[in-house]
């Protein structure tokens, strides 16, 4: 009788480890291949469009963004993969672990950044409320961190 005849006798831990190793290398390979594709596409577009800047820059930025993501995944893979998240109970020194409570401050910071970015092409009148929202959000986050 082999292990394949009885499903309860099959040890899947080795298969899971191999699958996890393969999955972690697939991620960075996809993004680095995508980056190389965008670099080639940028060069082809640059020369075939009579040196048009806007599309070439956007394609180059796409190559950079995929290279950034692929590089991050390479570093994570070299470190041994993603780690499981820590629970407060699992942490040895619970006083040093600071997990912030749910907060709307990051949302206000994000809204402020959107307003400031929209103010660049649409007018400076959007930048002032955006800067105020960013300031209020950052000050609030700092105060929440100090209150712990």
- pLDDT, tens digit, 9 for 90 and up, residues 70-112: 999 888 888 776 666 656 565 565 555 565 678 889 999 999 9
Predicted confidence at residue 84, as pLDDT, reads 61
Q: How many domains does the chain have?
A: 2
Residues 74 and 15 in one domain: yes
pTM, rounded to two decimals = 0.48
Residues 71 and 12 in one domain: yes
Could you give phi then psi for residue 75, rounded to 5 degrees? -65, -40
- pLDDT, tens digit, 9 for 90 and up, residues 17-30: 545 555 667 888 99
Q: What is the CATH number for 128? A: 1.10.287
Examine the fold and report which residue of 38, 54, 78 is the final residue of a domain before the chain moves on.
78
- Host domain of residue 57: 7-78
What is the torsional sign of CA 128, 134, 135, 137?
positive
């Amino acid at each position: 009788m082999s292990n394949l005849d009885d499903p309860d006798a099959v040890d899947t831990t080795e298969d899971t480890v191999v699958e996890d190793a393969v999955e972690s290398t697939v991620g960075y390979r996809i993004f680095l291949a995508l980056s190389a594709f965008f670099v080639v596409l940028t060069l082809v577009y640059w020369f075939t469009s009579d040196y048009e800047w806007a599309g070439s820059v956007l394609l180059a930025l796409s190559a950079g963004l995929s290279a950034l993501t692929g590089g991050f995944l390479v570093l994570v893979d070299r470190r041994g993969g993603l780690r499981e998240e820590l629970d407060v109970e699992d942490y040895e020194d619970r006083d040093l672990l600071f997990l912030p409570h749910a907060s709307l401050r990051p949302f206000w910071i994000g809204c402020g950044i959107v307003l400031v970015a929209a103010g660049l092409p649409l007018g400076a009148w959007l930048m002032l409320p955006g800067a105020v929202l960013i300031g209020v959000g950052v000050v609030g986050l700092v105060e929440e961190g100090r209150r712990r």
